[in-house]
Amino acid sequence: MCDKAIVLELKEAYALAIKEGGEVVRIKRKNDLAVGDQIYILEEDLYYKEKTNRVISFPAARKMRDSFTRHGSNQKTLSRIAGMAAMIVLCISLFLLPQMTLTAYAQASFDGDACIQVEMDQNYRIIHAFSPDNSVSPEELTGLEGKYISEIRSELLRFYGTEDILIGYAFKSSNQDQGALRQELYGLFAGYNTIWLFGSTEDIQASAERNISLGKYIAGKELSNDAIDDVLEDLELAELLRILQADSKWLEIPEFKEALEDRLESILEDKDDHENDTDDDGIIGKSDTDNQEDDDYDDEHQDVRESEMPQNQPEFEKGSEAEDDFDNNPDVQSNSDTIIVDTDASEIAESDQNGVSDGSFEEEYDAETED
């Protein structure tokens, strides 16, 4: 798959480009690259920054799986496998990551009927094979050590039945060739239903600390983040503040912080809307006065008001639909001059043509001010 992109900015290790369609991506630096260049980019040209514990979204993971599997797997399978891991991650702070010394170049875990994890060197030879949940004894796994990852398919498959297999993989250090490792692993479970999750160096450490497989840990984070989003969405500001009061570390969780900011923003927007009702270019809105007498006065003196219209009266073509709409709606005239003035007649005509009244927003605003 190829895309066209415009180079927007050059950084030391990568460049930022905008693809046709508007997506901004990071791409690898190559020779003679300059801002403004219009280039073709391929999937392998994309650059991933170090902290990419969400590099593979579920749709992308499904794409990879579908190319090697007969049946479609889905989030239910992932939920079943990673259910317990999600609970563990939710209960433990994400920031207490231990410093562990890693000797492997990359790690990969395979969760299904059994749970096996392998550490590999740069040539993808297995340094160490173990079972994080002890579903396979160490003696059964020693036969894997010393072999290349691509050679262990038959030995590995005897531990797995027909269940879906969750494959988690990550590098010890960043900026490694993810594609090459993926390629090595693909052949292991060809013909099986697989779910792929790519993690970071920190995920290797964190999963080891929690004695769960790398794949389960990454899956747990994915699910827990989605779960956090769903839960936080329903919480009121007071509840969020109570949670924060109980443990200030919650503020370090991006989803929580974002939920809190959203609540505050909503409150500020409500406050602004209320202030605009009372002080919008000096015009007092109906929501404040709610004065029937004013309505009557306006209706009665409509002709007079027309002749005294401020100079920023919008200019419509005589006899145009827009003019008729304006003239036939005294409430709009009297309460929202500033809004109408800003609206271009051509926009009104165009939006009416499209079946959406451009005045709908203003009308709603007016309806609010009349309350």
Partner 1 sequence: MVDGDGVSIEKLNDLVEQHMAFLIRTVSDLTGRYISVEHDDEFSIALSAFAEAVERYQPERGAFLPFARLVVRSRVQTYLKQKNRHREEISLEALEEAGEHIAAPENESHDDLQDEIHLFQQELSAFGLSLDVLADESPRHQDTRTRAIEIAHRSSQEPQIVRKTYQKKKLPVRAVAKLCAVSEKIVKGSRHFILATMLVFVKPFPILIRWIEGARCIHVR
**Collapsed DSSP state (helix, strand, coil) of residue 110:** strand
CB of 125 to partner 1, least distance (A): 27
In this chain, which of 239, 265, 290, 327 binds partner 1, going by CB under 8 A?
265
Residues of span 271-300 touching partner 1 by CB under 8 A? 272-273
Residue 167 and residue 215 in contact, taking contact as beta carbons nearer than 8 Å: yes
Residue 300: CA atoms inside 13 Å, Cβ hemisphere, count?
6
Pick 270 or 296: Cβ nearer partner 1: 270
Q: Are 359 and 333 in contact (CB under 8 A)?
A: no
Choose which of 38, 74, 142, 320 interacts with partner 1 (CB under 8 A).
38
CA angle 8, 13, 16 (to 5 degrees): 20
Enumerate residues 228-247 that contact partner 1 by CB under 8 A: 233
Q: Which of 284, 269, 300 is nearest to 335 (CA)?
A: 284
Residue closer to partner 1 by CB (options 269, 321) is: 269
**Contacting residue, 35, 100, 180, 241, with partner 1 by CB under 8 A:** 35
Residue owning tokens 């999937």: 43
Residue from 24, 84, 241, 367 binding partner 1 (CB under 8 A): 24
Query: In this chain, which stretch among 15-23, 100-108, 213-221, 288-296 interacts with partner 1, using CB under 8 A?
Result: 15-23
Closer CB to partner 1, 272 or 306, in the complex: 272
Token pair listed for 271: 């406050």
Smallest distance, Å, CB 47 to partner 1? Answer: 9
| Footprint of partner 1 on 329-348 (CB under 8 A) | 339, 342-343, 347
Helix (H, G, I), strand (E, B) or coil at 359: helix
Extract the tokens encoding 297.
């006065």
Q: Which two tokens stand for residue 369?
A: 């001010």
Comparison of 136 and 253: residue with beta carbon closer to partner 1: 253
262 binds partner 1 (CB under 8 A): yes
Q: Would you count residue 16 as binding partner 1 (CB under 8 A)?
A: yes
Q: Does residue 21 bind partner 1 (CB under 8 A)?
A: yes
Comparing CB distances to partner 1, the nearer of 59 and 319 is 59
Task: Pick the binder of partner 1 from 93, 211, 266, 302 (CB under 8 A).
Answer: 266
Do the Cβ atoms of 41 and 58 come closer than 8 Å?
A: no
Binding mask 56-95 for partner 1 (x = CB under 8 A): -x-xx-----------------------------------
210: contact with partner 1 by CB under 8 A: no
Beta-sheet pairing, 165-171 with 194-198: parallel
Which stretch of DSSP H or E encloses residue 104? Answer: none
DSSP string, 222-241: HHHHHHHHHHHHT--HHHHH
Q: Is 42 in the site for partner 1 (CB under 8 A)?
A: yes
For residue 309, what are its two tokens?
């219209």
Query: 111, 162, 157: which is closest to 132 by C-alpha?
Result: 111
Q: With contact defined as beta carbons under 8 Å apart, do 168 and 218 qualify?
A: yes
CA distance 51 to 43: 19
Name the token pair of 312.
């920023």
For residues 173 and 14, give the distance between their C-alpha atoms in angstroms, rounded to a whole number: 17
319 touching partner 1, by CB under 8 A: no
**Which of 196, 207, 131 is closest to 169 using CA atoms?**
196
Closer to partner 1 at the Cβ: 57 or 211? 57
Nearer to partner 1, 135 or 351 (CB): 351
Choose one: 22-30, 113-121, 161-169, 211-219; the region binding partner 1 (CB under 8 A): 22-30
Please give the structure tokens belonging to residue 44: 């392998």
Q: Which residues form the interface with partner 1 (CB under 8 A)?
A: 1-4, 6, 8-9, 16, 18-27, 30-33, 35-42, 44-45, 57, 59-60, 233, 262, 265-266, 269-270, 272-273, 339, 342-343, 347, 361, 364-365
